Amino acid sequence: MISLELRNKVYQFVDGAISATQLEEWMVARLRLFLESVESADADVVAAIELGLAEMSDGIRTEAQLRQFMKQVLREHAAASVFLGADTRDETTSANRTSALVLPVVGTTRVVWRVMSA
């Protein structure tokens, strides 16, 4: 599973919030952490970033093509990442609990389900 920090930064790149240069600068400062285990998903994603940056530098890919490539890399490494948030509210004498199940989707869209339980 890709670390949350790396996944979020790649999402920012894919969504156009940061440039390839910003992604590279951020990643280089953290390479040692991401490569602690060469068999990890983080190492695979970092290798894909490095490949894409090298291809972009050589004129093989444009930045837009690199964004598409990284979007595909995220899809290939997608795991069942589930974020559960709980919001407890006291209304009268009973407590209602609201849980939100959020599954991240590559790109800017997020699918949200709300499950109400008493």
* Angle value at C-alpha 47, between 41 and 53, nearest 5 degrees: 140
Lowest mean pLDDT among 3-7, 52-56, 74-78: 74-78
Check: CB of residue 73 under 8 Å from CB of residue 106: no
* Phi, psi (rounded to 5 degrees) for 57: -60, -35
pLDDT per position as a tens digit, 11-59:
999 999 999 999 999 999 998 888 888 888 889 999 999 999 999 999 9
Torsion of CA 88, 8, 74, 83, to 10 degrees: -10
Global confidence as pTM? 0.64
* Phi, psi (rounded to 5 degrees) for 73: -60, -45
